[in-house]
Amino acid sequence: CGINQRASKGEDQTAIDQWMTFISDNTEILYSGYLREGNMGLDNVVKWIVAGALILVGLYACLKFLDNYQQTSGTGSSAPRRSSGSSSPPGEPVSVSLCLVVPSHVVSGAREINPGQTGQRIYRDTIERLIDNASYFLCTEHGVSSYEEGLSFLPGAEIPLDNQREVYVRIEISDGKEMVGKSIPYALKSNLEPEAIFTIRKISLLEDLSGLDTFHRI
């Protein structure tokens, strides 16, 4: 089609202009031939029609090639931005805090959770069960002090075994960057990394549900 990958945009445009002039000239010939059908013959007119169609198809292919080449060339292009829930480089583990409000009987029912102790590690199935039973949750890679300062904790209060009292549980996840900002429980569970470590950092009975405005409610 006359377009060279090494040619400049101006040279490519010149080639296209030459094609347009060629088509214009031959369109006039085609039209004149059509008017002179009696002298030219129907077969010749059909040949000109086919030739004109082939020329149009060729021009379209050239235009598409030029458009694609300009989009993929380095001129005026920029690398795509990486979209992620975290600002950390791809593949780098990011420690996050998963804050949950769950019924006390769910917490006491988890065998590896000692309500009076922090720093204990829990299994993946346990954190999934806590997520499934949470009424409020929040996952962030930033500090949690601003989220916790408005909550009504009852420090030292014993967590009842068979009760619907709300308990606040904060779990540190060693690699949870894909969980940050998620607003539905399924998204949290589906983004739990297989090699992540889950450590309880805070567990406390709540006096009431005040201060949970920034949490996602289920």
Give the pLDDT band of residue 11 (cuts 50, 70, 90). Answer: low
Q: What pLDDT, on the 0 to 100 scale, is given for residue 95?
A: 93
Structure-block tokens of residue 87 = 């600002």
Instruction: Name which residue leads in pLDDT, 139 or 116.
Output: 139
The residue-averaged pLDDT of 96-117 equals 86
Cα–Cα distance between 144 and 182 in angstroms, integer?
Answer: 16
Q: Are 104 and 183 in contact (CB under 8 A)?
A: no
If you average pLDDT over every residue of the chain, what do you get? Answer: 77
> Binning pLDDT at 50, 70 and 90, where does residue 129 land?
very high
Q: Give pLDDT, residue 64.
A: 63
State mean pLDDT over 32-54. Answer: 62
Q: How does residue 162 score in pLDDT terms, banded at 50, 70 and 90?
A: confident
One DSSP character per residue, 111-155 reads TT--TT--S-EE-HHHHHHHHHT-SEEEEESS-SHHHHTTS-EET
Q: What is the pLDDT of residue 146?
A: 86
CA atoms of 119 and 171, how far apart (whole Å) = 9
Q: What is the mean pLDDT of residues 163-181?
A: 92
* Mean pLDDT lowest among 2-6, 80-84, 112-116: 80-84
pLDDT tens digits, residue range 173-183? Answer: 999 999 998 99
Q: Taking Cα atoms as reference points, which of 188, 180, 171, 184 lies closest to residue 217?
A: 184
Helices (H), the chain: 9-35, 37-40, 42-72, 104-109, 124-132, 145-148, 185-190
pLDDT confidence of residue 190: 94
Indicate the pTM of the whole model.
0.58
Confidence band of 83 (pLDDT split at 50, 70, 90): very low
